[in-house]
Amino acid sequence: MSRSNLLVLATGGTIAGIAGHAMRQDYRAGQIGIDQWLADAQSLGMEARLTGRQIANVDSKDIGPAIWSELYEAITDAIADDAIDGIIVTHGTDTAEETAFALDLTLPVTKPVVLVGAMRPADAVGSDGMRNFVNAVRVASDPDAAGRGVLLVMGDRVLAARDARKVRTRGTDDAFRGFPRGGVALVTPGALEWFGRPWRESDGARFTFPREWPRVPILYAAAGVEAAMVGRLVDAHCDDPAASGIVVAGVGEGNMPESVTAELARLASEGLVVVRASRVDEGLVDREPEDAANGSIAARALNPQKARILLKILLANAVRDPEAIQAAFDDP
Ligand code: SIN
């Protein structure tokens, strides 16, 4: 592999976390700065040339549109820079799937863009951070990673942004899974094996990166949830219900009590975009005949938090036609 030039954008997370003692369970995310991290990485004798920039140093529970915007600008500049071959973003695992998906929907796919995190802080016994990072370097150094959208490296597995989801709160094995596709490649510090060809049909960005991110609440359905919840959520979190959207984390295949369905159908008839996702981890929500009658959209394979990202981006791009919205969820 020839020596590639990679830009590393650091945002914090457990990968930059410190416990202060190898055996302690509690720790603080976002403690190690990018310069220290790159010095530690380079001391391993990696082939790639790494330069870094500290975008933030936070727990990813505090990442949202402001940091997405900084990442988007920095990555866009790096994609235009002939001296940079690939981009790595270090990120907390809690919301990595959301950042990866937001960037995947808005960036071109001409260079590798790889998110990486860790489940254990850097000074914990058995820390996974540096191994995951070295794996990410291998992926971002491979020109064949372009054309696959934003990728997430966790463990020795590479996941596509649209599929990646955090499924465990502890442990390094299988903390992330890809759904509906599993992993798209296997990676170790010494090897990278892709499963299949790049899948993106065109190099361009699919949507314009939003300057303003519309608010989209998630209604979590549960046994006995009341229709009154809908109005309270929409009143509190939708700036203009006739031009906003809501995602339902439904039971089973995106279901909810009849009274909730009726209230959402009423609001949909006034312009609210209603997306049915599932609270079930691997919940596929297909379009049903009732969706046409109720004016709702099926989230298909996107979980509620990712359905929320896609809906925000669609609304910000003035995509309001129900067929166009459903098409975006059918092929995210
Ligand atoms: C975070 O998401 O920043 C903390 C948890 C983690 O990175 O695993």
Q: What residues does each domain of the chain span?
A: 5-194, 218-330
Q: How far is the CA of 266 from the centre of ligand 1 (A)?
A: 39
Tell me if residue 99 falls in helix, strand or coil: helix
CB of 60 within 6 A of ligand 1: the answer is yes
d(CA 314, CA 308): 10
d(CA 36, CA 33): 6
**218-330: what fold?**
Rossmann fold (3.40.50)
pLDDT reported for residue 1: 53
pLDDT reported for residue 280: 97
CB of 119 within 6 A of ligand 1: the answer is yes
d(CA 109, CA 149): 5
Name the residue of 93, 170, 305 to mutate for ligand 1: max ligand atoms within 8 A of Cβ: 93
d(CA 267, CA 136): 44
Q: How far is the CA of 138 from the centre of ligand 1 (A)?
A: 22
Longest dimension (CA), the chain: 62
Percent of the chain that is helix, strand, coil (3-state, to 5): 35, 20, 45
Name the residue of 55, 58, 59, 67 to mutate for ligand 1: max ligand atoms within 8 A of Cβ: 59
**H or E stretch at 87:** strand 86-90
Task: Determine contact, residues 7/88, Cβ cutoff 8 Å.
Answer: yes
The length of the chain is 332
| The ligand 1 atom nearest the CA atom of 12 | 3
Residues 6 or more apart from 88 whose CB is under 8 A from it?
A: 6, 7, 8, 9, 114, 115, 116, 133, 136, 137, 140
d(CA 209, CA 102): 8
Q: How far is the CA of 92 from the centre of ligand 1 (A)?
A: 4
CB of 13 within 6 A of ligand 1: the answer is yes
CB of 31 within 6 A of ligand 1: the answer is no
pLDDT reported for residue 76: 98
pLDDT reported for residue 150: 98
Q: What's the per-residue H, E or C state across 217-283? A: CEEECCCCCCCHHHHHHHHHHCCCHHHCEEEEEEECCCECCHHHHHHHHHHHHCCCEEEEEECCCCC
pLDDT reported for residue 25: 76
| The ligand 1 atom nearest the CA atom of 30 | 3
Q: How far is the CA of 284 from the centre of ligand 1 (A)?
A: 26
* 162 alpha-carbon distance from chain centroid: 7
Minimal CA–CA distance to 196: which of 173, 220, 178? Answer: 178
d(CA 87, CA 105): 16
Does the 5-194 domain belong in CATH 1.20.1250.20?
Answer: no
CB of 14 within 6 A of ligand 1: the answer is yes
Task: Determine contact, residues 207/221, Cβ cutoff 8 Å.
Answer: no
226: tokens are: 């009341």
| Dihedral of alpha carbons 161, 166, 172, 178, sign | negative
Task: Determine contact, residues 247/240, Cβ cutoff 8 Å.
Answer: no
pLDDT reported for residue 261: 98
Residue numbers of the chain with a pLDDT score lower than 70 = 1-2
| The ligand 1 atom nearest the CA atom of 117 | 7
Q: How far is the CA of 296 from the centre of ligand 1 (A)?
A: 33
Name the residue of 14, 91, 98, 165 to mutate for ligand 1: max ligand atoms within 8 A of Cβ: 14
229: tokens are: 């919840």
298: tokens are: 């099926």
pLDDT reported for residue 287: 97
Give φ, ψ of 53 to 5 degrees. Answer: -145, 135
d(CA 90, CA 152): 10
Which residue type occupies 213? W
Q: How far is the CA of 133 from the centre of ligand 1 (A)?
A: 15
